[in-house]
Chain A
Amino acid sequence: MDDILILALLLIDATIRVATPLVLAAFAGLYCERAGVVDIGLEGKMLAGAFFAAAVAYSTGSPWLGLLAAIAASVTLALVHGFACITHHGNQVVSGMAINILVAGLAPTLAYAWFKQGGQTPLLPGEARLPQIRLPGVEALSPIPVIGPIYRELIDDTNVLIWLTLLVVIVTHWVLTRSRFGLRLRAVGESPAAVDTAGLSVTKLRYQAVILTGVLTGMAGAYLSTAHGAGFVRDMTAGKGYLALAALIFGKWRPWPTLFACLLFAFTDAVQVRLQGVPLPIVGVIPVQFIQMLPYVLTVLLLAGFVGKAIAPKASGIPYVKER
């Protein structure tokens, strides 16, 4: 009984750890897409965050400075995206694509030149990584059935960024539904002309949104290289930015469903690690690749309306040009 509980807890624990960067990136996408700016450049911004977090954490020894650097780098790229798409009405897909390719080249190029370790940063010592949060009372609670193991395995010794991510989810929900900024953000993604004629600046609102996107992708990147991992390696995002985009669509651009989609995708990943080579009843061994592509297939099915219907913010992807 206890073994099954422990196994389940380990699975949940793995799910949460895999889900954290996905959640951050998906919520990053949520802000800008709800404001009407499509961003397929989440991947690139996350990768830039991962590199600068590791590079600065290694050089200064401080993971917090690394986190700041990651956020600064991602916000810079987000501003580039904004400059192209908001100010110059450029194609949002092309801009996102360009940023992905640029960073996929730039991060290893800089790593190669600065650290001479073949496109990665040196391994980070423990104190240069974002800390785990130790909670009191683990020993005291341990003997209690169910609650004890849950507290020990799941809640204690969790990375600070995971707690922060939880906060991001809650705050995002609140901001979107209860705050003035959220109202304006949703409005500018649905009907920028209404926002404009209400005396608000479409440009300013959209820039605010992409900056938030930058902040959150920076955090996602820092998590990858200074919390989950211990240093930057080439292509370490490995498509997580696109997966986050899929989760955002799967969650229909709403906070809680998006969180759920991220957890679902992360869970399939955690299960897949456990299932490798294990034969299942009836179907036998499922090749790992098929489990890996499950999130993408699900997203396609959703977009096709075979599982629910995803309706994007009406103005997303369309640059705002005043009509005469």
Chain B
Amino acid sequence: MTQPPPPALEARGVNKWFGANHANRDVSLAVPKGTIHGVIGENGAGKSTIMSIVYGYLPADSGEILVDGRPVSVKSPRDALAVGIGMVHQHFMLVDPFTVIENVLLGAEGGVTLAAGRDRARKELIHLAREYGLEVDLDRPVGELPVGAQQRVEILKALYRGADILILDEPTGVLTPQETDHLFRILRALREQGKTIIIITHKLREIMELTDNVTVMHRGEVVANVRTAGTSREQLAELMVGRKVLLRVEKTPANPGPVVLSVEGLRVCDRSGVERVKGVGFTVRAGEIVGIAGVSGNGQSELLEALAGMRPIAAGTVRLRGEDLAGRPGLFNARALRRLHVGHVPEDRQRVGLVTSFEAQECAILGYHDEAVYNGRVLMDRAAILSRCESEMEAYDVRPRDPTLRAANFSGGNQQKIVLAREMERNPDLLLVGQPTRGVDIGAIEFIHKRLVALRDQGKAILLVSVELDEILSLSDRILVMFDGHLVGEVTPEQADERRLGLMMAGAA
């Protein structure tokens, strides 16, 4: 006559609006105690929103949260911690100049002075570290730690506060495969000890590898609650997207022409002087797409920005159609490169590729604003700007088709189309593309991929940087793998599979 124990965490009928956007629509899910539970969905599916509500970071408009079968009122992270819910956010919530121990203590000091709590925390943290493999140097400022260690600090923070339910939001986005494996070992160890883990991700591989059960979300709704063992990647992908997914882009083999870009011994430093690109060399030919794969933070971003003239290079040569640009600041800067027919779709369209407070037509000339066609002797030619924007919007099916609407008011996919149209419609010989489909809905992804392939087929050279392996595999004609600032290998998509690429990306092959 034993009743099954109530789930460790349950959400019932949660609704959340952001303005007119229904971010969570009657979301219900239950997480049994001592399991690892995955929550999966596309960008904007509402998975982070529901977890922020559970953690008390955002208030729900309606609905109920239960812990161990009892309804709880979670109005702030403090309430959540009190009922044993801890969260590791996607962007770490750490105080950089503080030591690890100070970060752990913050909010759980255990007294008016710090001295007593600090000693207690040190003992407890050493114990936790041993038990779960959460080793970190307790007396170093967290700002100096690698990301993997910073994440362990976040987990320690939650455990130190007595969390029995641990929520992790996209925890592997910034980790190398080894760090990911390390994390998964920790999570399994936590499960052994009876902790309940919820992991939010958009990566199917991780769901299959790690979780016991999975909740799939689509457009703010829960579309499925399934046991991981009873499902497959393909089924989950279909549920996530809401229809059959084409995993590969239709394209003919490449027909490469002459070399357009050739790079040798390129070194690039970031703002604080740390070398991020450590001597790379490669070529991109006309009529091919070269993809650079790698875990985020291995120097790809810096490489792309350096080639686009956005950051200075420390050493090396960069030849465009045979002409060496390095050491010629008059030619090797963002402005001059555009005149040399180099287009650049930046990784972060909102912070880099657009000025979101500008009208779409103003964004349509960003970087090209000083071209003669848009300028009279003193004043700019408004009609020319407007008609340019209108034709680009037409060609790329941007909606709504309103050149005077501010860029911020377009959806992510349409913002990306504005950027792509601006850079691709000028018929660049070389196109540098970073994360072309990040945060873009599936329909727009297919459109963007087709456009990129079409540009290639016109005989243009394309350098693609993406952290989405699927995207690299389906678009590239050649794949370069970047790890820790080096190019560690080159493969064709036919030779490559995710496992092999994953090892290369970890610097292990």
Residues of A in contact with B (beta carbons under 8 Å apart): 178-181, 183-184, 186-187, 190-191, 193-201, 314, 322, 324
Contacts and interface: CB of A to CB of B under 8 A. Distances in A.
A199 B117 CA distance: 17
6 contacts: A184-B106, A190-B96, A191-B96, A196-B57, A197-B87, A324-B49
B95 A199 contact: no
Interface string B314-331: 000000000000000000
B77 A196 contact: yes
A199 B78 CA distance: 4
B113 interface: yes
A201 B76 CA distance: 9
Contacts of A178: 113-115
Contact of B107 (A193, A195, A314): A195
Contacts of A200: 78, 106-107
B71 interface: no
B275 interface: no
A48 B337 CA distance: 58
Interface string B84-123: 0001010101111110001101111101111101000000
Nearest to A196: B77
Contact of A197 (B18, B48, B57, B98): B57
A195 B105 CA distance: 11
B363 interface: no
Interface of B: 18, 48-49, 52, 55, 57-58, 76-81, 87, 89, 91, 93-98, 102-103, 105-109, 111-115, 117, 157
A241 B77 CA distance: 38
A322 B77 contact: no
A187 B108 CA distance: 13
Given A180-B111, A197-B87, A198-B107, 4 more contacts: A191-B95, A194-B94, A196-B57, A200-B107
Contacts of B76: 199, 201
A181 B79 CA distance: 20
B95 A187 contact: yes
Contacts of B107: 184, 195, 198-200
A193 B157 CA distance: 15
Contact of A194 (B106, B108, B113): B106
B77 A198 contact: yes
B356 to A, nearest CB: 15
B93 A197 contact: yes
A174 to B, nearest CB: 9
Contacts of A190: 95-98
Nearest to B107: A198
Contacts of B57: 196-197, 322
A197 B89 contact: yes
Contacts of B79: 199
Nearest 10 CB-CB pairs, A to B? A199-B78, A198-B107, A194-B93, A180-B109, A199-B77, A197-B93, A191-B95, A187-B95, A190-B95, A199-B81
A179 B106 contact: no
B357 to A, nearest CB: 16
B96 A180 contact: no
A180 B111 CA distance: 7
B113 A179 contact: yes
Contacts of B157: 198
* A contact face: mostly helix, strand, loop, or mixed: helix
A187 B103 CA distance: 9
A195 to B, nearest CB: 7
Contact of B93 (A179, A193, A324): A193
B105 A183 contact: yes
B80 A199 contact: yes
A198 B76 CA distance: 10
B18 A324 contact: yes
B218 to A, nearest CB: 19
Nearest to B52: A324
A191 B77 contact: no
A84 to B, nearest CB: 23
Contacts of A322: 57-58
Contacts of B96: 190-191, 314
A194 B114 contact: no
Given A183-B102, A187-B106, A198-B93, A324 B58 contact: yes
Contacts of B108: 198
Point out which of A194, A195, A200, A324 has the most chain B C-beta atoms below 10 A from its C-beta: A194
A65 B273 CA distance: 57
Nearest to A313: B97
A183 B93 contact: no
A131 B55 CA distance: 55
A197 B92 CA distance: 10
A88 B235 CA distance: 47
A136 to B, nearest CB: 35
Contacts of A194: 93-95, 103, 106
A251 B49 CA distance: 42
B114 A183 contact: yes
Contacts of B94: 191, 194
A144 to B, nearest CB: 40
Contacts of B102: 183
Point out which of B48, B57, B93, B107 has the most chain A C-beta atoms below 10 A from its C-beta: B107
Nearest to B88: A197
B48 to A, nearest CB: 8
Nearest to B55: A197
A291 B148 CA distance: 53
A92 to B, nearest CB: 21
Contacts of A187: 95, 98, 106
A103 B87 CA distance: 46
Contact of A198 (B48, B106, B113): B106
A183 B109 CA distance: 9
A47 to B, nearest CB: 34
Nearest to A181: B112
A269 B313 CA distance: 49
A179 B77 contact: no
A199 B111 CA distance: 16
